[in-house]
A and B are shown apart, each in its own frame.
Chain A
Amino acid sequence: MDQPQPILSVRHLSTCFRTDRGVVTAVDDVSFDLFPGESLGIVGESGCGKSVTSKSIMRLLPEHLSFLRPESQILFDGMNLARADERTMREVRGNRIAMIFQEPMTALNPVFTIGWQLDEALKYHTSLGREGRRQRTIEMLRLVEIPNPEKRIREFPHQLSGGMRQRVLIAMALCCEPEILIADEPTTALDVTIQAQILRLMENLKQRLGTAIVMITHNLGVIAQTCDRVIVMYAGRIVESAPVKQLFHQPRHPYTKALLESIPRMNPGDHGQRLPSIEGIVPSLYDLPPGCRFADRCPRRQPSCVEAEPELEPVDSASLVRCFFPWE
Chain B
Amino acid sequence: MEQFIQPINLIGPSLLVPLLPLLGFILLTFFGKQLKTFGPWIASLLVLGSFVLSVYIFSSLGNENNLDYDLFTWLRWGDVSLNFGILIDPLSLIMLLVVTGIGFLIHLYSIGYMHHDEGFVRFFAYLNLFIFFMLLLVMGNSYLVMFIGWEGVGLCSYLLIGFWFTNDAYNDAAKKAFIMNRIGDLGFLLGMFLMLFYLGGLDYATVLGSASSMEKGAPILVAITLLMFVGAMGKSAQIPLYTWLPDAMAGPTPVSALIHAATMVTAGIYMIVRSNILYSLAPFTLEIVMWVGVATSLFAAIIGIKQNDIKKVLAYSTVSQLGLMFAALGLGAYTSGMFHVVTHAFFKALLFLGAGSVIHAMGGEQDMRRMGGLWKYIRLTAITFLIGTLAISGIFPFAGFFSKDEILAAAFHHKIVWVLLSVSSMITAFYMFRLFFLTFFTTFRGTEEEKHHLHESPWTMTLPLAVLALFAIGAGFLGMPSVMHMPHWFNGFLAPVVETSKTILGESHHVDHSTEIMLMLVATALAISSIVIAYVFYISKKSIPESDEETKGFAKWVSNKFYIDELYDRVIVKPVMVLSDIFHVVVDKLIIDLFVNASAWMVGFTGRTLRLVQTGNTGFYIFVMVIAMMVLLLIQLVQ
Asked if A and B bind, the verdict is: no
Where the two chains meet, the residues of B that have a C-beta atom closer than 8 Å to any C-beta of A are none
Where the two chains meet, the residues of A that have a C-beta atom closer than 8 Å to any C-beta of B are none
